[in-house]
Structure 1
Amino acid sequence: MEFDALLIEPRRAKMEAEGLWPGKTLLDYFDACRAEKPDATAVVSIVVGTGARRDLTYSEIDHLAWRAAVGLRRLGLGKDDVLASQLPNGWEFVVLYIACRRLGIVFNPVMPIFREHELRFMLRHGEAKAFAIPRVFRGFDHEAMAETLKPELPDLSNLIVVGGAGPNGFEALLLDPAFDAEVSGIRQISARDRGDANDVCQLIYTSGTTGEPKGVMHTANTMYSNLVPYAARLGLGASDVVLMASPMAHQTGFMYGLLMPVMLKARMVLLDSWDKALAAKVIAQDGVTFTMASTPFLMDLTNAVEELGTNSSTLRIFLCAGTAIPGALVERARRVLGTKIVSAWGMTENGAVTLVSPSDPDERSVNTDGFVLPGMEIQIRAADGTVLPAGQEGALYVRGCSNFGGYLKRPQWNATDAEGWFDTGDIARIDDAGYIRICGRTKDVIIRGAENLPVVEIEAVLYKHPDIQQVAIVAYPDERLGERACAFVVPKQGKTFSFEEMVRFLDSQHLAKQYYPERLEVCDQLPSTASGKIQKFALRTMLREAYEKSRA
């Protein structure tokens, strides 16, 4: 595979000269952990469905990863080959990634929720030579699906099945004890092929809020240049215990649940899926100090701790990203969990770019998405490219150390200008203190009769309603005004919601009447990615198709 990471070299000298690219890979950090604390617990891996738990030390992970590297080499994989992994969070994911890096294999995590349609495109586009899957996960037969897909993917030579009992099983292919005799030879190959911090090491596809997956290329430098200042702002270190239930096939889980704990010499606690009651118990049992997830996870955890009465006193920080955090939730979570709620904004293409400081007042996490991390810059631009002053909404551009290397085989989509500014596709504003507020996606903007509606602010008001669990406001076509606003609402369990109640509540909140949605759709659930981001494009498509059908 030829990786056209065109956005790396133009900024390499500047990033290295300014000390923004650490020049270290996962293997550098992991080897330091193994040397310093070989018998310390590195990974706690919990299977939610069965409660099965496995604790592994740095030394044990090291041994398994060398054995797995032998297995991968025996399968014919080597430097710059792509291995796709649909594994859920667990020790196998960690071992497999370390083994891949030891051979210079590029790791392509794909979400466990993806099925034939998404996987057919991603594995073909990424030219994956091996595909690691669970045999069955959450009741779905991944092995059968992969076997069906395999004949359609000419590059795919091997399936590696966690939980598989046959010759393609994870244990049989990668963890045969007989492989230990070949580790010395693999160490020599690793010294040659593991690569450096500027090699593409991760290929990850965008999560699908726009409906168009793109293969994002990252290097160790682009990811760790984010993780170093991120951990510093949050005050995280070797004594921390990081809980990760967000999928490690998503950048949240991958960077902040796997790469960051190894960098910190900390412990990672992995849940293969989300279970609020189990998460509450694990926090108490393992002394979890930090976690990162979207707003629904925070809501669930707060409910669970309140219902079960578990001890969450060790949990210093819950970092919430992906959507605005309702003020009422922050207040309740602070009271119930005793935890600092920190807001942030970022993308698959650049990791977390802005985040609130733990020393900031809670209002900052409710009303902003934080301020920029060292090594990154942001601009708010008007449609004509003019940089806007504080307080004005415009297109959000980002430049700096953690920006990605480009989209695989699609450089025309890189959305990065000659000066290195990346068009995020988000609409935002910045205040006088440098804190940003995401106001929506460029495609999420609703222009009703030439007036832009402040979608995020309207959603934030509706989130205050005691009967609303989730809300998303999107545009639908209108012959006279061009667009109108529709509110999709998921009521809390046992509650109802009506258009009349929405209008009454917005009246009570003194919102300008021209901002009121003209339509309400009450749903059991909203389409979303596995990380909790609402897929507004799906809602817009539904409304547009209904409109077109009515005019046919």
Structure 2
Amino acid sequence: MSAHLIDLVPATLRRAWAADGTCPDLDLYSLFRARRVAAPDRPAVVDPAGTLTYAELDLRVRAVAAGMRELGVREGDVVGVQLPNGRDAVTAELALAALGAVALPFPVGRGPGEARSLLGRSGARAVVAAGHARDLLAVAARLPTLRTVIAAGHEPPPGSESWERLLSASPAAFVPARPDPDAAARILVSSGSETEPKMIAYSHNALAGGRGNFLATLIPDGRPPRCLFLVPLGSAFGSNGTAVTVARHGGSLILLDRFTPQAALAAIREHRPTHVLAVPTMIRMMLDQAGTAAPPPMTALVLGGAELDAATAAEARAVFGCPVVNLYGSADGVNCHGGLGHLPGADGGPGVLVGPPDPRVAEIRIAAVPDEEFGEIIARGPMTPMCYVGAPELNRRYRTAEGWVRTGDLGTIDEAGRLRLVGRLKQVVIRGGANISLAEVERAVAAHPDVREAVCLGVPDTLMGERLAACVVPRGGRSLTLGGLTDHLTVQGLDRTKHPEHLLLIERVPLTPAGKPDRDALRELIARSR
């Protein structure tokens, strides 16, 4: 059976957030259906196949939901979704919401081993996939709970069901479920720092309410947004797509099935989004290709998934002519940003200035940590997830009895009530017994005028245990030496014990399927270069 999903936030708090209007207290499909009734001809999805209106999308959703019900998918069942960005991914997520099932999206690119881990630990009953159905059929044979593999986008292999057949089911007789808004709607997947991907269960209210309130703060005129999602919808950042942009705000999703900087810039010019959601690496790649033509006006670039350096933020503001929002957030249950008026950059204080926490999204506190100058950031609020899935040890490690989430991040709240992110408890290199914060070094390296992007990491060493390496993308036409970099770090005031001992120059930072820097791939490049 599917994993038992409990809510570690006190029920009295959940009900209070619903009673005062902080959360809509409706399931995701009901929210989407209300948008469809109010504006049936509004574009819901724009992808390489064209444009789908809300009415057209709803017919697809109801057909797929009816077809899945015929296959035995029931309320509370977990169903994996491994689809590229596009109408099928949006349809699948809304169809599962209409059934009262729990969607488990994960990005295309995660291999059979990770898929088996996710589907097995969650107790998934079915999975929808494009291009990997044959591999997932082999996985299904070893997972007693996984009964159905639905193949999309190609001829279904023997033993699988056809996505096209689900789309051809009759939507007319389908009657949607009405799940409890505080019940699970989606499981977010985050690689984090664990040996296996973490899975975190979110309710309808936490997605549409807490995460929906985050996006609401970036919609100054209250009009339905047009959001270009460059991150995978199957990632944690991508959970702001179907549930938030469409169901909560009645907006339009602009989607590319594969990111390239050229395609992203073309989509901005053609589809004129109000918001672009991306990781900083994608924006740096786009800046290198942007040219001199001014892009159409936008409300904001919303960047998350990795730390944003001041130089990239300033250049992006100048090139795209809009605010750049530096989003601090994670699948584990924290979200904070400075808003449309904040200018990311150095201000003389410790770490990175994020902004004031929003209690309609997540209240944030700082908990003392022994032997640390700064405390650990903990969060609790309307967006707080229910629990970790299939990992009770993570619930014991990262959740408190009162429902607070321990983020593993170090920070402080300044006199103005603004959160400052200083580093991570785990993201350190231990060189000869001394801890070196990767975040601190990355910020100093990124400030070098010849550096476009920097990722620092530890590499094994027989003498010191670990040594620090810097992987650097130089700015166009420029180069860099290790000596020149360490001279810069000395001027920056970074202690010499924290200077990188290896420098690897690369053309671009490799990304994981979720769009984050792939540190394992970088370690392999360093090993080969040495």
Residue 355 of structure 1 pairs with residue 337 of structure 2: yes
User: Could you say if the C-alpha distance between residues 463 and 261 of structure 1 is closer, same or farther in structure 2, counting changes exceeding 3 Å?
Assistant: same
Q: CA deviation at 1:374?
A: 2.2
User: Could you say if the C-alpha distance between residues 437 and 447 of structure 1 is closer, same or farther in structure 2, counting changes exceeding 3 Å?
Assistant: farther
Q: CA deviation at 1:117?
A: 1.1
Alignment partner of 1:246 out of 231, 236, 244: 231
Write out per-residue CA displacement over residues 349-384 of structure 1, whole angstroms, 9 at most, x where no aligned residue.
Answer: 22x510111122343799422321223222223324
Write out per-residue CA displacement over residues 424-457 of structure 1, whole angstroms, 9 at most, x where no aligned residue.
Answer: 1112233222332333321113466776545323
Contact 1:344 1:369 in 2 (8 A): yes
Letter in 1 for 2:382: C
Matches within 5 A, 1:190-205: 190=176, 193-205=177-189
* 1:289 alignment counterpart: 274
Contact 1:256 1:292 in 2 (8 A): no
* 1:74 alignment counterpart: 70
Contact 2:148 2:161 in 1 (8 A): no
Give, in whole Å, the separation in 1 of the partners of 2:3 and 2:433.
Answer: 46
Q: CA deviation at 1:13?
A: 3.8
Contact 2:376 2:409 in 1 (8 A): yes
* 1:215 alignment counterpart: 199
Query: How many residues get paired?
Result: 518
Matches within 5 A, 1:226-241: 226-235=210-219, 237-241=222-226
* 2:311 alignment counterpart: 328
Give, in whole Å, the separation in 2 of the partners of 1:428 and 1:481.
Answer: 28
Contact 2:456 2:470 in 1 (8 A): yes
Alignment partner of 1:267 out of 245, 252, 261: 252
What secondary structure does 2:354 align onto?
coil
Alignment partner of 2:22 out of 17, 20, 23: 20
Write out per-residue CA displacement over residues 245-290 of structure 1, whole angstroms, 9 at most, x where no aligned residue.
Answer: 2100012112246532332122111111112112212212212110
Write out per-residue CA displacement over residues 288-319 of structure 1, whole angstroms, 9 at most, x where no aligned residue.
Answer: 11011110111122233326x2x423222001
* 1:183 alignment counterpart: 172
* 1:425 alignment counterpart: 408
Give, in whole Å, the separation in 2 of the partners of 1:13 and 1:207.
Answer: 31
Contact 1:258 1:268 in 2 (8 A): no
* 1:5 alignment counterpart: 6
Give, in whole Å, the separation in 2 of the partners of 1:123 and 1:450.
Answer: 39
Residue 151 of structure 1 pairs with residue 141 of structure 2: yes
Give, in whole Å, the separation in 1 of the partners of 2:330 and 2:456.
Answer: 21
Alignment partner of 1:470 out of 453, 463, 482: 453
Q: CA deviation at 1:218?
A: 0.7
* 1:49 alignment counterpart: none
Letter in 2 for 1:383: V
Matches within 5 A, 1:66-105: 66-105=62-101
Residue 412 of structure 1 pairs with residue 393 of structure 2: yes
What secondary structure does 1:89 align onto?
coil
Greater share of helix residues, 1 or 2?
1
* 1:550 alignment counterpart: none
Q: CA deviation at 1:523?
A: 5.1
Letter in 2 for 1:374: P
Alignment partner of 2:484 out of 470, 482, 501: 501
Alignment partner of 2:105 out of 106, 109, 121: 109
Give, in whole Å, the separation in 1 of the partners of 2:273 and 2:311.
Answer: 24
Give, in whole Å, the separation in 1 of the partners of 2:413 and 2:525.
Answer: 33
Write out per-residue CA displacement over residues 116-146 of structure 1, whole angstroms, 9 at most, x where no aligned residue.
Answer: 11011111112222211113xxxxxx23322
Give, in whole Å, the separation in 1 of the partners of 2:284 and 2:16.
Answer: 42
Letter in 1 for 2:295: S
Give, in whole Å, the separation in 2 of the partners of 1:102 and 1:286.
Answer: 29
Contact 2:8 2:401 in 1 (8 A): no
TM-score (norm 2): 0.88
Contact 1:130 1:156 in 2 (8 A): yes
* Greater CA drift, 199-208 or 2-11: 2-11
Q: CA deviation at 1:60?
A: 0.7
Residue 378 of structure 1 pairs with residue 360 of structure 2: no
User: Could you say if the C-alpha distance between residues 299 and 430 of structure 1 is closer, same or farther in structure 2, counting changes exceeding 3 Å?
Assistant: same
Write out per-residue CA displacement over residues 361-413 of structure 1, whole angstroms, 9 at most, x where no aligned residue.
Answer: 3437994223212232222233249xx9xxx5222111222111111232331
* 1:549 alignment counterpart: none
Residue 225 of structure 1 pairs with residue 212 of structure 2: no
Residue 312 of structure 1 pairs with residue 264 of structure 2: no
* 2:123 alignment counterpart: 127
Alignment partner of 1:346 out of 329, 334, 348: 329
Give, in whole Å, the separation in 1 of the partners of 2:413 and 2:436.
Answer: 18
Give, in whole Å, the separation in 2 of the partners of 1:510 and 1:396.
Answer: 26
Give, in whole Å, the separation in 2 of the partners of 1:411 and 1:503.
Answer: 44
User: Could you say if the C-alpha distance between residues 171 and 503 of structure 1 is closer, same or farther in structure 2, counting changes exceeding 3 Å?
Assistant: closer
Contact 2:23 2:208 in 1 (8 A): yes
Matches within 5 A, 1:508-519: 508-519=491-502
Letter in 2 for 1:431: D
Write out per-residue CA displacement over residues 187-235 of structure 1, whole angstroms, 9 at most, x where no aligned residue.
Answer: 1xx2xx3312111111232234443322211101111232332133212
Letter in 1 for 2:72: G
Contact 2:9 2:404 in 1 (8 A): no
What secondary structure does 1:424 align onto?
strand
* Greater CA drift, 285-294 or 452-461: 452-461
Contact 2:237 2:305 in 1 (8 A): no
What secondary structure does 2:140 align onto?
helix
Alignment partner of 1:29 out of 28, 31, 44: 31
User: Could you say if the C-alpha distance between residues 439 and 57 of structure 1 is closer, same or farther in structure 2, counting changes exceeding 3 Å?
Assistant: same
Give, in whole Å, the separation in 2 of the partners of 1:510 and 1:410.
Answer: 42
Contact 1:8 1:198 in 2 (8 A): no
User: Could you say if the C-alpha distance between residues 327 and 7 of structure 1 is closer, same or farther in structure 2, counting changes exceeding 3 Å?
Assistant: same
Write out per-residue CA displacement over residues 13-49 of structure 1, whole angstroms, 9 at most, x where no aligned residue.
Answer: 4434554332122122211211111112111112xxx
Give, in whole Å, the separation in 2 of the partners of 1:208 and 1:457.
Answer: 19
Give, in whole Å, the separation in 2 of the partners of 1:165 and 1:538.
Answer: 33
5+ residue gaps, structure 2? none
Letter in 2 for 1:30: F
User: Could you say if the C-alpha distance between residues 527 and 300 of structure 1 is closer, same or farther in structure 2, counting changes exceeding 3 Å?
Assistant: closer
Give, in whole Å, the separation in 2 of the partners of 1:77 and 1:200.
Answer: 15
TM-score (norm 1): 0.85
Letter in 1 for 2:339: S
Q: CA deviation at 1:477?
A: 6.6
Contact 1:242 1:257 in 2 (8 A): no
Contact 2:110 2:513 in 1 (8 A): no
Letter in 1 for 2:5: D
Give, in whole Å, the separation in 2 of the partners of 1:169 and 1:495.
Answer: 53
